[in-house]
Amino acid sequence: MRIHHVLPLCAAVTAASVLVAGCADGRGDGGRPGAKSASPRSSESSSESSAASSAASPTPSGDDRTWEPDDALRRADRALDAYADDGTDAELVDSGTAYVGSGLEKAFKAPGDRAYRLDITCDTAGVDELTLTLSRDGAEQAYGVGCGDREADQFNIPPGTPFKARVDSVKDGTGLISWRLNSIAPGDVDGCDDDIDGCED
């Protein structure tokens, strides 16, 4: 399981401001898991709505390659597939893609006895990290999600009431967010068992 860093709420707001100010180089919304925008969107609707407009203009990334949505989606899929052979009894519950420029805000049901794991990644041009906020029943935690990493970030959520995942939009950002929600056996939970309430190190 990849280590993810908790961002205090004030730091999350600052990070979002920095992303908006420093990364306005033309990216849509979408990739692997979800980002949040001013207008909440599901992964299905956001991934196709602004593909032509935001991804059509190529933008060089840090390694001087042109960012292309098809290539980015393949890289995001590989990052999400990195845990396929980890021995976890994972069952896919939901998945989707959103453009960074639109962001994502999605509510998930979490019934039953199995734990849930949200795997999320992003592939962008010029944005190194996005802020994911998980919330449920008044509890909220913000985390940094690295973009372009070979392994997706993973977050554990115990069963119970619905929870929300939000990634704020990056205005004029180019890139995608891709995510998968899996249910897993309680014994397969690695690390903190509730990344919404958070765990002390």
Asked if the structure places residue 62 within a domain, the reply is no
Asked if the structure places residue 193 within a domain, the reply is no
| 23-61 per-position pLDDT tens digit | 333 333 333 333 333 333 333 333 333 333 344 344 434
* The predicted structure's pLDDT at residue 109: 97
- Count of domains forming the chain: 1
The model's pTM is 0.69
Asked if the structure places residue 101 within a domain, the reply is yes
Asked if the structure places residue 61 within a domain, the reply is no
Residue 35 is part of a domain; what is its CATH number? Answer: 2.60.120
Asked if the structure places residue 199 within a domain, the reply is no
Provide the token pair at 36.
Answer: 């949040």
Which residues form the domain of 124? 5-48+67-188
- The order of strands in the sheet holding 91-99 is 91-99, 175-184, 115-124, 153-157
* The predicted structure's pLDDT at residue 103: 94
| Cβ(76)–Cβ(127) below 8 Å | no
Asked if the structure places residue 41 within a domain, the reply is yes
* The predicted structure's pLDDT at residue 201: 60
Give the residues of the chain that fall short of pLDDT 50: 1, 3, 5, 8-62
* The predicted structure's pLDDT at residue 100: 95
* The predicted structure's pLDDT at residue 6: 52
Asked if the structure places residue 59 within a domain, the reply is no
Asked if the structure places residue 136 within a domain, the reply is yes
